[in-house]
Structure 1
């Protein structure tokens, strides 16, 4: 049975949560859905830093970039990593982007000035989650009663939503290890095509 490290827990509509994991044996990112392919309920026990032995099946059909979806059949809690051990594990075992926001998702992001970063169907990466150490501070702000973070320098003025379950902080210092993800495909009002918007899952 694979050992899965829980690396994120993010808020979704309807009180559900998205659980991000990392299969320690295969060294692949996974997104833990229920056995029938639904999102996990808010009461789901998985917490960041925990290691679970999880029996899961790959989802029969996936739509890029969300290729990490798996269906949990059963799971047993094993242990919990300390925060420093969790950070060290990610740095030693996972691909981490370093530097500018334009490096995320193999350069597929659109970063319109003053607006949310996103990808479109013209350039779809082969993954929807990643780890990142930004070259500048990420600054918290609120808009439309939602928590967001801003990446701002002379070249970029991009922002993205914060979807984590921990309280936001005013500043995430440059060099902090964070987890980023792409939301599911969505067609914004008055738009003619779908997009996946960038969001921050949490930091370590």
Structure 2
């Protein structure tokens, strides 16, 4: 069995997307149900939960960058360690390239290149990452959606946590890349847009 620390919960059109860390390996994972499908809105997971569960690579796992998909079956909730527990884990364990501090350009293997999306020309090896920004991120609402501004770039927020006016520099933020999308034929290429799925204020 595996212990998974739940670090994010984001909105989807047909359920929720739950992100976690395999505590034994440090691997970042995206939880699917035991059949490989998306989790429903009634999924029992909350940010900061530690769950004992079975975890295996999803039969329908996608190609890079979306490699984190896992088929999971919950066994029991161990405890909830809250945001403080997530911060403690991230700071005390070597997450390698999955934790990056500095300019946004350095995240996702440098494939953003001053943009808020990646293209097929430069595909990172993963689609979720922790980031410690070098500047504050300020909240705005645009067309009824929540965004955070970083150096003029508008990054969509898709999590369940109540918005805050400012995410200070130095705070751990969780980033993710959305599915490939071609803008319904408007764009010249498919793109994976950057999203903020959560943050961890001490």
> Which digits, 9 at most, give the CA deviation of each residue in 1:172-191, with x for residues without a partner?
01111110000111111411
The 8 Å contact of residues 5 and 51 in structure 2, kept in 1 or not, is answered as yes
Pairing partner for 1:172 from 157, 167, 170: 167
Q: 2:50 maps to which residue?
A: 51
Provide TM-score, normalisation by structure 2.
Answer: 0.92
> Which digits, 9 at most, give the CA deviation of each residue in 1:86-131, with x for residues without a partner?
211112223421111101101001434xxxx000111111110000
In structure 1, runs of 5+ residues without a counterpart are none
Say if 1:133 and 1:103 are closer, same or farther in 2 by CA, change over 3 A.
same
How many residues of Structure 1 are paired with residues of Structure 2 in the alignment? 195
The 8 Å contact of residues 57 and 73 in structure 1, kept in 2 or not, is answered as no
Q: How does 1:122-161 map to 2 (within 5 A)?
A: 122-152=121-151, 157-161=152-156
Find the aligned partners of 2:124 and 2:134 in 1 and give their Cα distance.
22
Secondary structure (helix, strand or coil) at the match of 2:107 reads helix
Q: How does 1:1-204 map to 2 (within 5 A)?
A: 1-14=1-14, 16-60=15-59, 61-93=61-93, 94-95=95-96, 96-112=99-115, 117-152=116-151, 157-189=152-184, 190-204=186-200
Which ranges of 4 or more aligned residues in structure 1 deviate by more than 4 Å? Answer: none
Find the aligned partners of 1:98 and 1:92 in 2 and give their Cα distance.
15
- Greater alpha carbon shift after TM alignment, 76-85 vs 100-109: 76-85
Find the aligned partners of 1:173 and 1:182 in 2 and give their Cα distance.
22
> Which digits, 9 at most, give the CA deviation of each residue in 1:25-56, with x for residues without a partner?
12101100112222111110111111101102
Find the aligned partners of 2:169 and 2:85 in 1 and give their Cα distance.
20
- Computed over aligned residues only, the root mean square deviation of the Cα atoms, in angstroms, reads 1.3
In structure 2, runs of 5+ residues without a counterpart are none
Provide TM-score, normalisation by structure 1.
Answer: 0.91
